[in-house]
Structure 1
């Protein structure tokens, strides 16, 4: 039998270091906010010939000097009717949603500039978000996360005890903060898809924690008076660890190909889930349960 509980102080210290590191990244490096949250214009172009990012930036700068700061990324190539098309994503800080003339001028000028180089381009997607709309989306995203946490705390408290609810929410906060740190560290875009990943992570992490808590509650009734709370929790974790690991590994193996080959649009969602599955499984075993032990021992309710 693995002694999970005996090493809980080591793992709690490790988690505190991870949380501290994540917060440092978040507050010093910040996030790579997508158009959804930062506002601006995002469009995808395809070309019949491969061009460099510097060429695209040079053409954008010749149209307007402010476009020199555009974020440009190469996407997966498209195969259409035995011919290969090269795709590029461009994000401008300026929103063109209020001016159809500016948008049409940008499209017309870019096509002309590329045509001079004997390159044909097409605009596949065009997404405009004003600063006001971005702030509104950001507010709704925060509301969604906060309301979800409140509902999860209420659910755990009703199903188990308040001590279990506190443990679950702290473990969930642990997962979200560390996952946010990874987003900041690797510069993964934070957009609506990333928020969806955080909410999915919350549900997944909670489900994993409930499996452990359910076994602890069952063993507390069965082993009361025979074992102390540390032994009961340790026994419970050992009884469910195989199931938890099998579920997590299976989920991770499904997410990994999506992260690698799914493309730019789904990457923020897949990245959040990939990190979240690992961190969520860890917290269910090493964070949520020790918190319950500490709470029960301090309240002397067992």
Structure 2
């Protein structure tokens, strides 16, 4: 029989390595690449008329801002099927500066007045509100999951499930820092999607463990039972994960940049979610449950011996 529980520390290394790389890249990039939805700023959609690299457009806009004493990160994304439309995001600027930025692009790339497709802005206070709500909704989702698992199974299962979810979220955050993808509400959507998908896999495994525990013989340890339960559910978990990933990978390949920013963390999150459901949540639960059984048996033995005395 495969020794999943016995190798739990080895399985834990993969997400920890990804998280460690993410921490390093966090400092390399100077923190998360927060989008204007979180930090406030300007969003301009412009028809460039031809395919121009994002870096070239970013340098042009950054140059205008620097000349006017404005510091901050400028991000450029392709939009639309042709690749000629770009979405430019800048720090908060005055109305006149929006015109100055567009005039620079218009002059440099011979654009018409109609090339400015849309422009919108978000205040820093709005960005702070979005951050607070995103954090609140995430915590509420995790709390609901914790309560549900505790009621349906037991509190140890709930703790291990949430631990696995925490690893998933940290890995996704690490992917965002490694790839320097802008952190916006898309991240929250992807994260909550992964949380929901991962907990489904975890429930399947814990449900099988619970059923097998009902018929556990005295000579069968919890470790052996969990190893067998993982084997019995692994095929289902892997197959459902692969079919889901195929769809999302196709979306990533065929989608525009904004869709790819959602699909890439989703791919990583769903893959690591299946991994933690199989190899982390249930294996660490087994060790915890077995130690609790041994402690209970030891306490009963001590009480029995004390009565004899």
Shorter-normalised TM range: 0.7 to 0.9
Q: Distance in 2 between matches of 1:10 and 1:122?
A: 55
Matching of residue 39 in structure 1 with residue 33 in structure 2: no
Q: Which residue pairs with 1:216 in the alignment?
A: 209
My pick for the range that moved more, 54-63 or 26-35, is: 54-63
- Is this contact kept in 1: 2:49–2:85, CA < 8 A? no
Higher strand share: 1
1:94 and 2:86 correspond: no
Given that residues 32 and 182 in structure 2 are in contact (C-alpha distance below 8 angstroms), is that contact kept between their aligned partners in structure 1? yes
Structure 2 distance, partners of 1:260, 1:183, is 18
Structure 2: 5+ residue stretches without partners: 298-309
Aligned length: 291
Cα deviation, residue 87, structure 1: 1.9
Residues 43 and 126, structure 1, Cα contact 8 Å, conserved in 2: yes
Alpha-carbon distance in structure 2 between the residues aligned to 1:65 and 1:51:
24
CA distance in 1, matches of 2:275, 2:167: 10
1:195-214 superposed matches below 5 A: 195-214=188-207
* Contact 2:32–2:177 (CA under 8 A) maintained in structure 1: yes
Q: Which residue of 1 aligns with 2:273?
A: 280
Normalised by the length of structure 1, the TM-score is: 0.86
C-alpha contact (below 8 Å) 2:169/2:191 kept by paired residues: yes
* Paired residues of 2:146 and 2:158 also in contact (CA < 8 A): yes
- 1:141 is displaced (CA, Å) by 0.6
Q: Judge conservation of contact 2:8–2:284 (CA < 8 Å) in 1.
A: no
C-alpha contact 2:4 2:283 (8 A) present in aligned 1: no
Separation of aligned partners in 2, 1:19 and 1:234: 27
Once structures 1 and 2 are overlaid, which stretch shifts more, 286-295 or 51-60?
51-60
Instruction: Compute the displacement of 1:156 (Å).
Output: 0.4
Decide whether the 8 Å contact of 1:193 with 1:266 is kept in 2: no
**d(CA) in 1 for partners of 2:256, 2:161:** 33
SS of the residue corresponding to residue 257 of structure 2 reads coil
Q: Is the 8 A contact 2:44 2:118 kept in 1?
A: yes
User: 1:221 and 1:50, CA in 2 relative to 1: closer, same or farther beyond 3 A?
Assistant: closer
Counterpart residue number, 2:182: 189
Secondary structure at 2:84's aligned position in 1?
strand
**In the alignment, what sits opposite 2:168?**
175
In the alignment, the residues of structure 2 paired with residue 38 and residue 233 of structure 1 have an alpha-carbon distance, to the nearest angstrom, of 46
> 1:290 deviation in Å?
1.5
Q: Does 1:71 align with 2:63?
A: no
Q: How many Å apart are 1:264 and its aligned residue?
A: 2.4
CA RMSD of aligned residues (A): 2.6
CA distance in 1, matches of 2:241, 2:247: 10
Q: How far does residue 88 in structure 1 lie from its aligned partner after superposition?
A: 2.1
TM norm structure 2: 0.84
Pairwise CA distance, 1:7 = 1.7
Instruction: Give how far 1:3 is off.
Output: 2.7
CA deviation vs aligned residue, 1:10-65 (integer Å, no higher than 9, x gap) = 21344444444434444554211111112111212112244454366436635753
**Does the residue aligned with 1:223 lie in a helix, a strand or coil?**
coil
Match of 2:117, SS? strand
3-state SS of 2:215 partner: helix
Give the superposition deviation at 1:107.
7.1
Structure 1 position 113 matched with structure 2 position 107: yes
Once structures 1 and 2 are overlaid, which stretch shifts more, 34-43 or 260-269?
Answer: 260-269
Q: Where is the helix percentage greater, Structure 1 or Structure 2?
A: 2
Aligned to 1:9: 9
SS of 2:256's partner is: coil
Local SS of the residue matching 2:228: helix
SS in 1 for 2:89: strand
